[in-house]
Amino acid sequence: MKLRQIPPPDTLKNHIRYFWVFEGAGEAIPTGSFKAIADGCPGLIFQHPDKGVMYQNSKRLPPAFVYGTASRYAEISLEGTFNTIGIFFFPQALPAVFGINAGELTDTCMDLELIARRQQYPLVEQLAEAPSSQHRIAILSDFLYLLLQQNNCFESSAIQHAVNFIVQAKGSVSLKELQEQLQLSERSFERKFKQYVGVTPKLFARINRFQASLHQLRQNDFLKLSDVAYLNDYADQSHFIRSFREFAGLSPNQYQKKAVELVENFSGLR
């Protein structure tokens, strides 16, 4: 199986982190063997309908779908073979690209074909018939740019600043101070943040703190788990392990010994 990461075109670089392409080269993938790890970002997936079918928590997914920010891990399975293209968006991209309240997609997904039909755009048909992944990325890019031109008024410099601040601080921030910087009441800050990102500022900060600890585990950058807990401002090792299970679906020890990340924040077990 082969994974590739492709940068977005300049027209989408403020909203898309990168495209990813995962091709299974014909291998059958056992069902029920993947966990989508919470990362604070929405995304998009196209799985070629002739190659296999994806499920989330036992619910069959459409061939092309947009998913919102996750508040916890999700169980993913696939019947068939991987022939998949995905997009990792930046946290606040959903309103600007799709013109929707991000909170409506938290922990769920939306059929991309429904959006395409409103534009009279035969998207899934074009993706299925495209001769290569490169062509599919071009089709998706053109479609998303069309949507962005219609919806880019739904952007917020205040929430952009808040997201960047929390991400750069790896979740260890004073949300009270951030709220005061933006001259918003606590209620208004939480409402706007959830509208643009899909989760509350507090939960987004917790997910980013977890992601910082996950990065340490990936890099093997620690001597013992208590060091990871301490460096990422967890109260103690037990607190860290509980949080890790909440967002990853397994313990730090299980992740280190058994997990294989096929795509960033999308792991199977050895």
CATH code for the domain of 245: 1.10.10.60
Instruction: Give me the pLDDT at residue 34, please.
Output: 82
Asked if the structure places residue 270 within a domain, the reply is no
Q: Report how many domains make up the chain.
A: 2
In the numeric block, the tokens 């943040």 are attached to 193
Radius of gyration, CA atoms only, the chain:
19
Q: Assess contact for 162 and 173: CB atoms under 8 A.
A: no
Q: Assess contact for 240 and 234: CB atoms under 8 A.
A: yes
Asked if the structure places residue 31 within a domain, the reply is yes
Instruction: Give me the pLDDT at residue 32, please.
Output: 47
Dist. CA 118–CA 50, nearest whole Å: 24
Cα angle for residues 200, 204, 209 (degrees, 5° grid): 150
Look at residues 91, 120, 70 and name the one whose alpha carbon lies nearest to residue 16: 91
177 and 127 in a common domain: no
7 and 139 in a common domain: yes
134 and 30 in a common domain: yes
At CB < 8 A and 24+ separation, what contacts does 219-225 make?
225/252, 225/253
209 and 84 in a common domain: no
Q: Whole domain around residue 246: which residue ranges?
A: 157-257
Look at residues 150, 221, 168, 162 and name the one whose alpha carbon lies nearest to residue 191: 162
* pLDDT tens series, the chain, 270 aa: 577 899 999 999 999 999 999 875 555 454 446 889 999 999 999 998 888 899 987 789 999 999 999 999 998 888 888 788 999 999 999 999 999 999 999 999 999 999 999 999 999 999 999 999 999 999 999 999 999 999 988 889 999 999 999 999 999 999 999 999 999 999 999 999 999 999 999 999 999 999 999 999 888 878 888 999 999 999 999 999 999 999 999 999 998 887 777 788 877 655
193 and 68 in a common domain: no
* pTM value > 0.95: no
Q: What is the CATH number of the domain that holds 56?
A: 2.60.120
Residue where a domain terminates, one of 135, 151, 167:
151
Q: Angle at which helices 201-219 and 237-248 pack, to 10 degrees?
A: 100
Residue where a domain terminates, one of 104, 124, 151:
151
Dist. CA 249–CA 258, nearest whole Å: 12
- Strand-pairing partners, residue 44, are 66, 87
Dist. CA 197–CA 159, nearest whole Å: 8
Beta strands per DSSP E along the chain: 2-6, 16-23, 34-36, 43-47, 52-56, 59-60, 64-67, 74-80, 83-89, 109-111, 259-263, 266-269
Asked if the structure places residue 59 within a domain, the reply is yes
Asked if the structure places residue 265 within a domain, the reply is no
Asked if the structure places residue 268 within a domain, the reply is no
**HSE (side-chain half, CA atoms, 13 Å) at 257:** 5
135 and 27 in a common domain: yes
17 and 122 in a common domain: yes
Asked if the structure places residue 60 within a domain, the reply is yes
41 and 143 in a common domain: yes
Residue where a domain terminates, one of 109, 126, 151:
151
